[in-house]
Chain A
Amino acid sequence: MSWTDLVIPLFVCVIIGGGLMKRVPVYTAFIEGAVDGLKVVGRIFPYLVAMLVAVEAFQASGALDWIEKALTPLGRALGFPGEVLPLGFLRPVSGTAAIGYMQMIFERYGPDSIQGLTASVMMGSTETTLYTVSVYLGAVSIRKSSYAVKAGLIADMAGLTAALFVSRLFFG
């Protein structure tokens, strides 16, 4: 058990304890708040179906192999461990696929190789943008994302590029 395992249980204790001190009827308040949980998820559901169906179709098609074949030499030519470049494409699109790809790199090269280290830093540099946007906009039933996706993807690009350079600096 590490300290991170303590964060959530302690946080829950602090909330309940603090509520009691402020004389909040904690049980009633909890129920009233929790009522909305299912409603919110119901709103998110269609957005998640749309997104996951598209992501699954793309993954199953084998398009990733093409991307891998195209990006790996490009990465090498630029002086980075080329094998990790497809991860830059996967990371914003699918969290599970990105984790799978990172573990594949761990198995093939080891987690402490330059490939493994770079892949780890890339994973930590950003989030699964498409999933996050779908969930949050779905929660308030917004279909027009304005510039949220565009700005998110630009930020992803910046983070992933930074991850490549920082890893070379630290581990290269």
Chain B
Amino acid sequence: MMDAIWVILLLGGIAIGLISGKGTEMTQALMDGASRAVELCVRLAGVCALWMGLMEIMRRAGWIDALARRLGGVLHRLFPDIPKGHPAMGAISMNLAANMLGMGNAATPLGIKAMEQMQRLNTTPDTASAAMCMFLVMNTSSVQLIPTGIINFRHAAGSTEAGAIVIPALIATACSTLVGVIVASVFRRITRRRGS
């Protein structure tokens, strides 16, 4: 799937660009894309180091295990492959909490930590596991309670009721997360059956 999307965006883009006579722009865009990856990585590196440092403090204080135990029951249904009380559960719950509160730059490092923990349980290390897919769907469908970023943009554009979108956006994101969770569990069963 990722292959197909990549090829469509890249080849489709280049083809359409060249047909429209945008050779120079296309060359520039390809180089820009590569440099933007560097910029993003530099920004991400600092934030990652910061939150991973803070997370190590939390781990040593025993909070992550405590969180894993407390939320393990609820999350166990979504992640049946992760043993109860496994540190992956702690990292997953912290990532989801950070996402809900709109702490985007904290959520990413916490999510990476969760992925590392899940990779330890992954029996096929070159392919995303069922638990990872569920986790990715919950992250890509956004479970944010208050979309602070969008409210700020609306405010900046001169909106008189910047917060009017909170409830509708919450309903919409609940739909995407719910559908995502259902689809991921259906796919999980299908791949299981095919595999066995």
Chain A contacts to B: CB under 8 angstroms: 4, 7-8, 11-12, 15-16, 18-19, 21-22, 24, 26, 29-38, 40-42, 44-45, 48-63, 66, 92-93, 99, 102-103, 106-107, 110-112, 116-117, 120-130, 132-133, 135-137, 139-140, 142-152, 154-156, 158-163, 166-167, 169-171
Contact = CB atoms under 8 A, between A and B. Distances in A.
A150 B165 contact: no
Contact of A163 (B38, B63, B172): B172
B32 A146 contact: no
Given A37-B45, A49-B33, A57 B128 contact: no
A45 B39 CA distance: 10
Given A7-B101, A127-B141, A155-B183, A137 B14 contact: no
B74 interface: no
Interface in B145-186: 146-148, 150, 153-154, 157-162, 164-165, 167-173, 175-180, 183-184
Contacts of B49: 34-38
Interface residues of B, number: 104
Contacts of A121: 165, 168-169, 172
A167 B168 CA distance: 7
Given A24-B61, A42-B41, 16 more contacts: A31-B53, A37-B49, A52-B40, A54-B9, A60-B26, A110-B157, A120-B150, A126-B140, A127-B139, A133-B140, A142-B128, A148-B133, A151-B180, A151-B187, A152-B180, A155-B141
B80 interface: no
A66 B20 CA distance: 11
A56 B12 contact: no
A58 B9 contact: yes
A57 B140 contact: no
Given A56-B33, A120-B154, A123-B150, A156 B141 contact: yes
A125 B128 contact: no
Interface in B6-60: 6, 9-10, 12-17, 20, 22, 25-26, 28-30, 32-34, 36-38, 40-41, 44-46, 48-50, 52-60
A29 B53 CA distance: 7
Contacts of A171: 164, 168
